[in-house]
Amino acid sequence: MDVVTFGESMVVFNGDVTGPLRYIHNFAKSLGGAESNVATAIAKLNHTVGWFSKVSDDEFGKFVVNSIRAEGVDTSKVLVDKERTTGLLFKEHYQRSNPNVYYYRKNSAASSLSPEDIDEEYIKNAKILHLTGITPALSQSCREAVYKAIDIAKKNGVLVSFDPNIRLKLWTLEEAKEVLIDIANRADIVMPGLDEAELLLGLKDKDEVADYFLSKEAKIVAIKLGADGCYIKTREEGIVIPGYNVSDIIQDTAGAGDGFAAGFLSGYLENLSLKEIGEYANGVGAMATLVQGDMEGYPHYDQLMEFIGKKQGIER
């Protein structure tokens, strides 16, 4: 397996018109979850990837697993909880460009993930373990599961990839800083947004941010710069890779950061140059914003190559 990841995936309900949710009567149902987003995008780029979690024994739980498995992701280690429910997320398009998000995930099946649910064999046979800062925010047991997974990866020479993915609707900044900095300090690959790095470290300069993580265990740091692209730095070199001009964003940018992570990891697995890795990452992230939904816009390999100018498309 190239990549293994785990965390909560929710059923997303997106209102069909703008306005407060109390006036919305029709919703489109889709899938959302940072880790499954990354897994889906990696699978579309021709890499082997596994995702696991706990889901409820209900129709929403089946929807989550079926949707992820249908994209070519291995879900053989997903656990079923007969007592708990599936997490839900409602999006409200009102008063801002990105939607307001309402979580209904407290005490969900995925929030009960614990160290006992971590399969050591599954992780030790991967090349990369990808984690986000969302999973440790869900519960103490989830936090302990993340640390156990890191320990397994480190013991077995599996690279740890980490996207802080700060969610202040799940915990306070003080709680988040303590845990996320600690995890990032142990990761081999760190992928923060520049705004996240400022929240965590109080640093605004991209070189200072990268150098901080490189002074720990990181081998490579990718700093997301929004529309300006990204800055990738190792101990040997650093390079800014410009972003792609996307003028027709559909509704919101959800899934763009996860797409960036997937493109980055795919390029890294292919031993590409830092510039080419950044082009992959920026490309997948940009394409995520062109389609409504968190993961529906992720490209297959040929589509990505066409988007970033590496291949000529054929329309008819």
258 is catalytic: yes
What value does the mean pLDDT take over residues 104-123?
95
Residue 309 makes CB contacts below 8 A (sequence gap 6+) with none
pLDDT value for 292: 72
pTM: 0.93
Query: In which residue are the tokens 């997301």 written?
Result: 224
Residue 133 makes CB contacts below 8 A (sequence gap 6+) with 162, 163, 164, 165, 166, 167, 176, 179, 180, 183
Binning pLDDT at 50, 70 and 90, where does residue 56 land?
Answer: very high
Check pLDDT > 60 for residue 52.
yes
**Dist. CA 195–CA 294, nearest whole Å:** 21
What value does the mean pLDDT take over residues 91-103?
79
Which residue among 81, 117, 252, 258 is the active-site one?
A: 258
Binning pLDDT at 50, 70 and 90, where does residue 293 land?
Answer: low
Superfamily of domain 3-307: Ribokinase (3.40.1190.20)
What value does the mean pLDDT take over residues 165-190?
94
Residue ranges of domains in the chain: 3-307
Check pLDDT > 60 for residue 5.
yes
Taking the alpha carbons of 256, 261, 266, 267 in that order, is the dihedral positive or negative?
Answer: positive
Task: Indicate left, alpha or beta for 144 from its phi (over 0: left) and psi (-120 to 50: alpha).
Answer: alpha
Check pLDDT > 80 for residue 96.
no
Binning pLDDT at 50, 70 and 90, where does residue 61 land?
Answer: very high
Q: What is the pLDDT of residues 16-29, one digit of tens each?
A: 888 999 999 999 99
Q: What is the pLDDT of residues 167-178, one digit of tens each?
A: 988 899 999 999
Share of the chain above pLDDT 70, in %: 95
